Amino acid sequence: MLQRCQGEAIQVFLPSNVMSIHNCEDLASWCMDERVPVKLRKESGEFVLNINADTEVKMSYCAWCGESLHGGQKPNSLGAGVCKHVEDLAAKPGSSLKYQGCWMLGAGDLSVRLFFCPTCGRELPVDEERRWEKSPSEIAMLTTMFANIKSIGQAIEQVGPPDFQRGPYEDHFYWKGKRSYIGYRKSLIYERLAKTVDVHVVDWVGGELTVKFLAKPLGQGPIGQKQAKNKD
């Protein structure tokens, strides 16, 4: 999931008047991405959100840091929640806002998380998926199991075939205004090794191999526990 920007002033490849209005790195980066329906009016330095072919909304607040794009405006004083602005925009036919207005759909399969309403600045709710608490003993066991894994082939040879396999995958994004690439050659997902943790082994396009132990979604349930019950 995307993280909120910290409002740090940086130099990006946008007109200088834009950075004098707002210094949010996320807004600048998404504005540069041709797949995202957030655009900059270079003549005025205003950011607009394209909802559909007939609707365009001038952004009064940054949807990623919540700060005003026009100086002295104060954001919505209500607590986190879905406001009527994003509800109405998400309800329009062919809207680029989905899931109660908290997500913005771009071209292809791109989805961008919004943290604040671009009209009133109200903080939008974050529906984090509930997960199982990681078992310390399982983490210790898995750490030992994958300690010497240096490649995808080695993981399959020593641990066995994964429960799921993905890749290759490549995508691009704009980091500080520069087009950059991210992706992986292959990803292995092991669900059966532990009750509370899934193991993700990823061979990135840059040559790095990472092994991460992620807590299972609460709705998924401890897979190992289910298998044990089935054996009984």
Asked whether residue 123 is assigned to any structural domain, the reply reads no
Tell whether 3 is covered by a domain. no
Express each pLDDT in 61-88 by its tens digit: 988 888 888 776 677 677 888 788 988 8
Q: Are residues 106 and 142 in the same domain?
A: no
Same-domain check for residues 82 and 42: yes
Spatial distance between the Cα atoms of 181 and 179, rounded to a whole number of angstroms:
7
**DSSP letter string, 124-142:** PP--PPPBPPPPHHHHHHH
Whether 10 is in a domain gets the answer: no
> Is residue 144 included in any domain, yes or no?
yes
Cis peptide, bond prior to residue 168, ω within 30 of zero: yes
Integer Cα distance of 155 and 135 in angstroms = 22
Rounded distance, CA 2 to CA 61, Å? 18
Q: Which residues of the chain have pLDDT under 70?
A: 1-23, 72-73, 76, 100-101, 127-129, 172-181, 219-232
Q: Which domain range does residue 26 map to?
A: 16-113
**What is the pTM (predicted TM-score) of this model?**
0.58
Q: Render pLDDT for 131-149 as a digit per residue (tens, 0 to 9).
A: 889 999 999 999 999 999 9
Select from 63, 81, 113 the last residue of a domain: 113
pLDDT score at 16 = 40
SS (H, E, C) 37-84: CEEEECCCCEEEEEEECCEEEECCECCCCCCECCCCCCCCCCCCCCCH
**What is the number of structural domains in the chain?**
2
Question: Residues 15, 180: contact at Cβ < 8 Å?
Answer: no
Residue 72 lies in a domain: yes
